[in-house]
Structure 1
Amino acid sequence: MNTEMKPCQKTFTVGKWMPSDQATLTTWMSKIMAKADQDTGPLLPSVQGLKDFIESDAKAYMFFTQMFDQVSKKLTTSPSGLPQVRDYQHMLKLFNVIMTHAPEFDETGLVGCPFNAILDWSMATEGGWAGFIDDKVNVHLKTMLDEWGLFLQSYESTEVLSDDPKKGWFGEDAKKAMPTFVNDFECDPTLPHYGFKSWDDFFTRKFREGVRPVAEPDNNAVIVNACESAPYRLAHNVQLRDNFWIKAQPYALQFMMDNDPFVEKFVGGTIYQAFLSALSYHRWHSPVSGRVVKTRLIEGTYYSQTRSVGLDPAGPDYAQGYIAEVATRGLIFIESDNPDIGLMCFMAIGMAEVSTCDIRVFEGQRIEKGQELGMFHFGGSTHCLFFGPDVDLEFDLHGQTPSLDSHNIPINARLATVKSRKA
């Protein structure tokens, strides 16, 4: 099979996780490569652990060799126009640099998923598909990303929370992109870094009281938006099993919920999926009032994307349906106070390095509509709401058709109204 691919000049605009300006992204990658070439020190423990695993496991060595061998040697850039990563040793050196860097602001979109930018070429190859779906590979990726997450939770990561006019999160360009930041979010501009203790603290920031009011809090027929997010897909009559890896990426409930006993209650029902923006709010709120029945964390993949969508320079943007079955995710089952809704489920789905699903509620807990459920650490990702087959819903997507071109609906805003079964 011919594995040669041609460069693609598609802009990275979905969710603002990658710059829409290719020159910015190329400059960033060139800078990281230059630092890696100058770095003569040892690899950090988790990166060294990944290296040891690749070089001691036959399948991993094959996958990580193939994914770079399958890149055309005639090309010097990746599918997105980035300087090409040469081999897995080069990849590891680049990872090592990233591990002590927090994302800088850029008006065309931050490099919010730097590991993803490094892997965008290899993810698109046959070797990449096989390697990044492998459980043992994902264990080592998780260890590495957890270590990076600890850095983002440290005070050292606040370096980018500066007033640098171009790169700082409180600089001139950032203030233009987020003009109502101080009024919207809990912060204190008189303190260093506006009072944020780390990059993670900044990215999991809270709205000020009253900024996102709950739509009709006393009306249990109104379902509110669980995340500050843009509509991606609305699917009805969802099946228990389906070929989720094909181009249409149909949902397969059994795999999305990891064979949970509750899955049968949602067969033939409705799924709503939406994705978060890098510049917005990253916590989850309950779409209904009721009782938490169960919570679950499911370990999964980080850089797997289905090959059926073709080349996806900002992968896995095009594969959001597919990763709902295989990526790291968290489930929160809620028994609604409204019997016309009954049991529903919120599912947080990790994308690339944005994969820490931090559930903050517990089984048996009483929750009100609009109450916080948890959060994504380091930014945002994608999520789903599940409803049973007998739930008659009228969605309000604020004049939009679900797609990668949609824009955020505010959290706690009306998302849908359930119709009475008696009526």
Structure 2
Amino acid sequence: MSNTTTPYCVGKWMPSDQHVLNTWLRKIHAKAEDQTGPLLPAVQQLKTFIETDATAYMAFTQLFDEVPPWRHKSPSGLPQVRDYEHMLRLFNVIMTEAPEYNDSGVVGFPFNAILDWSMDTVGGYAGFLNEKVNAHLRAMLNEWAIFLRSAASTKVLNDQGPGGWFCKDALKHMPGFAEEFQCDPGQPHYGFTSWDDFFTRRFRDGQRPVADPADDAVIVNACESAPYCVAEKVQLRDKFWIKGQPYAVQFMMGGDPLAGKFDGGTVYQAFLSALSYHRWHAPVSGRIVKTARIPGTYYSELLTARADPSGPNDSQGYITEVATRALIFIEADNPAIGLMCFMPVGMAEVSTCDITVFEGQHVKKGDELGMFHFGGSTHCLFFRPGVKLAFDLHGQQPGLNSCNIPVRSRIATVQS
């Protein structure tokens, strides 16, 4: 957690998490087998919807029936989920669990891990694009988010025994935690009031300094993230669902009237791992012109990404058009940049794009814009056609094997 590039390849977050999921999800499976009581309200509502809507019933039956026999175990090494009723029982357990510490990583996307192989079936492709299905998933994930923000979720923030985020072993893997992040080691749970409070922790003053704060030509990294793609001359509309996943600005921006200003421009996309700092920061100084939230999908992935056990990783271009996301348009102080846009994109459980700025507000480069709640995710920066950029990706090529560039570090310079 130093100010240098983190030696952690974000494209490999799910394999490093598999050992954790093996242990953690075995407990979830065991608890689900023992539970005979009623489902939680949001889970029961999803069950009722599946069983009363013909399209949803067909999709949620197909997405398990279509899992090939050779995939008798999930990517996490557990028996494949049998049917939608088994799925709902597993969901019901997770809804009252917060991720525990494990020395080989964090439990990344537990709901995603349950759906794993079924996401890339024909039934899964159809079902997880269904607006009504996503409305129920949104309600369920929002209910889980309430638990993660409650005092009950602090039981994993203890300093005794395995699973505690401040136990001796955990602190070995978070060197300098108390010096880098705002906390109070003298208080219970280091002063954090919930799992979400811990997960969305802030750096102390002086950490992650803003690169060239007085130079408006320098654009900084909006998130603690690794470069995934740089695309130039992007189209307003394109076939984003094909294997190459070209960007389609109109659909990425949900049909926003400002989308046309970026037709033919540049898109930079970067990926946050499950272990990353999850707050967003202004890449440039300027005025907030507009903000918007776009509801979308949570578990939709490309059928061409069938070799991807973690689903969203190999579908990152595609999900920028369909997943739940937000838009923050900024009129940069530097006229050579002019109007640009920051777009955080939720992946799977990362359903909350929390905007903390308002229209008309002036922000300085590096100021906070908002945050994700729980898990890893992805984001894009949009620049208009004619904006000439020299990217500085810290000696890396964009892709799933790139590593984190610290937030607020230089990633590009605009040429006059």
Work out whether the TM-score is over 0.5.
yes
**Which moves more between the two structures, 321-330 or 104-113?**
104-113
Structure 1 residues 279 and 73, CA gap change in structure 2 (3 angstroms): closer
Say whether 1:156 aligns with 2:152. yes
Q: Does 1:340 align with 2:325?
A: no
Q: CA deviation at 1:172?
A: 2.7
- Partner residue of 2:248? 252
How many angstroms does 1:181 deviate by?
Answer: 1.2
Q: Distance in 1 between matches of 2:22 and 2:110?
A: 12
Once the two structures are TM-superposed, the CA of residue 379 in structure 1 deviates from its matched residue by: 3.7
Structure 1 CA distance, aligned partners of 2:107 and 2:170?
14
| TM-score under structure 1 length normalisation | 0.94
Query: Taking structure 1 as reference, are residues 66 and 172 closer, same or farther at Cα in structure 2, changes over 3 Å only?
Result: same
Residue in 2 that maps onto 1:211: 207
- Indicate how the Cα distance of structure 1 residues 267 and 122 shifts in structure 2: closer, same or farther if over 3 A, else same: same
Matched, 1:396 2:379: no
Amino acid in the other structure paired with 1:336: A
Per the alignment, residue 116 of structure 1 pairs with: 112
In the TM superposition, residue 78 of structure 1 has moved relative to its aligned partner by 2.1
Spell out, residue by residue over 1:169-225, the C-alpha distance to the aligned partner (whole angstroms, 9 max, x if none): 112332222212111100011100000000000011111001011111111001111
C-alpha separation in 2, matches of 1:16 and 1:99: 26
Aligned length: 409
Q: Aligned Cα RMSD in Å?
A: 1.6
Partner of 2:370: 374
More moved, 73-82 vs 405-414: 73-82
**Where in structure 2 are the equivalents of 1:312-323 lying within 5 Å?**
312-323=308-319
Shift of 1:312: 1.3
Cα distance in 1 between the residues matched to 2:30 and 2:15: 20
TM norm structure 2: 0.95
SS of 2:369 mapped into structure 1: strand
d(CA) in 2 for partners of 1:69 and 1:415? Answer: 46
Amino acid at match of 2:178: V
What is the identity, as a one-letter code, of the residue corresponding to 2:407?
I
Distance 1:313 1:146, change over 3 A: same
Q: Which residue of 1 aligns with 2:405?
A: 409
Residue matched to 1:49: 45
Q: 2:23 aligns with which of 15, 27, 30?
A: 27
1:278 Cα deviation after fit = 2.0
Q: 1:119 to 1:360 in 2, by over 3 A?
A: same
Structure 1 unaligned runs (5+)?
1-11
- 1:23-422 correspondence runs (5 A): 23-73=19-69, 75-79=71-75, 81-420=77-416
Offset at residue 31 of structure 1 (A): 1.6
Distance 1:349 1:314 in 2: 16
Paired amino acid for 1:388: R
Quote the offset at 1:105 in angstroms: 1.5
Q: Which amino acid aligns with 2:45?
A: G
Q: Which amino acid aligns with 2:121?
A: T
SS in 1 for 2:16: coil
Q: Is the 8 A contact 1:276 1:380 kept in 2?
A: yes
CA contact (8 A) 2:389 2:412 kept: yes
Moved more, 53-62 or 238-247: 238-247
TM-aligned CA deviation for residue 23 of structure 1:
4.3
Q: Which residue of 1 aligns with 2:4?
A: none
- 1:47-91 CA-to-partner distances (Å, cap 9, x unmatched) read 000000000000000000001111234653125533210000000
Higher deviation after alignment, 166-175 or 401-410 = 166-175
CA distance in 2, matches of 1:203, 1:151: 13
Residue identity opposite 2:197 in structure 1: D
> Which residue number corresponds to residue 3 of structure 2?
none
CA distance in 1, matches of 2:206, 2:17: 35
Amino acid at match of 1:84: Q
* Contact 1:232-1:274 within 8 A present in 2 as well: yes
Contact 1:349-1:382 at 8 Å conserved across structures: yes
Matched-pair identity in %: 69
Structure 1 residue 165, shift from structure 2 partner: 4.9
**Amino acid of the structure 2 residue aligned with 1:100:** T
